[in-house]
Amino acid sequence: MGATVPTNDQILVPETLLKKRKSQEKARAERTDAIEKKKAANKEKRQVIFKRAEKYVQEYRDAEREKIRLHRVAKAEDSAFVPAEAKLIFVVRIKGINKMPPKPRKILQLLRLLQINNGVFVKVTKAITEMLKVVEPWIAYGYPNLKTVKELVYKRGYGKVNKQRVALTDNAIVEENLGKYGIVCVEDLIHEIFTVGPNFKQASNFLWPFKLSNPTGGFRPRKFKHFIEGGDLGNREEAINALVRQMN
């Protein structure tokens, strides 16, 4: 009689191989489970971010409508419209270090304006106002609108991650560094900056100083005169938005 070929069931699989298979199957199942959980968490996070973005859009619209309403009321009553005091300033350095005394040099370092065309957001305080007066011969500054803040963050925004300059290409970068402050996406970051929220300091320090370009068409011929004298230096209030647009 010829020899019979044993069936698979008749072949005794070594115990170590069985254990290895079980371990691999368990690891595979755990990986699949982790992937599914991550997908669900990401979907939930996207929904949260979308809802927040919608809420911010409504908030910005309501604020703009209220401003228009107050303007109309003032006009109807034949009185001057007095806008709310600005809370946010954007500062950009436009002059080098030649013949710079130690005090303004130190202030520019504190403001993180180490190079020409560097820009930062700062909160309006008495201390900041005094500092800006000292370094006025080296900077241009003013009150940025929402469009300016958004364009700067989306186009030139980099975060400080482990002392490295990292592009804000993903909401995860924001969440990893500012999540403990409730800032989990770029729109949260923009909202915190523009409204000068309770965690403004953390948000603005996370943002690497913006590296802008020379303005299209160049600076004014009398660049190193004050803005009100036909130059570019000093406080230009809302006109900072036009300058940033040229430099962004």
pLDDT for the residue 207: 98
Distance from chain centroid for Cα 151: 10
Given a contact cutoff of 8 angstroms between Cβ atoms, the answer to whether 166 and 142 are in contact is no
CA distance 94 to 140: 7
Given a contact cutoff of 8 angstroms between Cβ atoms, the answer to whether 143 and 132 are in contact is no
Match 């009150």 to its residue by tokens.
Answer: 143
CA distance 205 to 75: 41
Band the pLDDT of 183: cuts 50, 70, 90: very high
- Which residues partner with 141 through β-bridges? 91, 235
Mean pLDDT computed over every residue of the chain: 88
CA distance 114 to 98: 13
CA distance 219 to 31: 57
CA distance 82 to 71: 8
Dump pLDDT digits (tens) for 75-130.
888 877 777 788 999 999 999 878 889 999 999 999 999 999 999 999 999 999 99
CA distance 61 to 175: 26
Using DSSP's 3-state secondary structure scheme, residue 13 falls into coil
- CA nearest neighbour of 212 among 178, 246, 184: 246
Domain layout of the chain by residue ranges: 14-84, 88-247
Percentage with pLDDT > 70 across the chain:
91
For 66, how many CA atoms within 13 A lie in the half-sphere containing its CB?
Answer: 8
Percentage with pLDDT > 90 across the chain:
56
CA distance 128 to 187: 26
The highest-level CATH class for domain 88-247 is: alpha beta
Dump pLDDT digits (tens) for 52-83.
889 998 988 998 898 888 888 888 888 777 77
Given a contact cutoff of 8 angstroms between Cβ atoms, the answer to whether 228 and 108 are in contact is no
Dump pLDDT digits (tens) for 189-208.
999 999 999 999 999 999 99
pLDDT for the residue 80: 77
pTM of the model: 0.79
- Assess whether pLDDT exceeds 90 at residue 12: no
Band the pLDDT of 14: cuts 50, 70, 90: low
Average pLDDT over residues 185-190: 96
204: tokens are: 């603005």
Which has more confidence, 187 or 12?
187
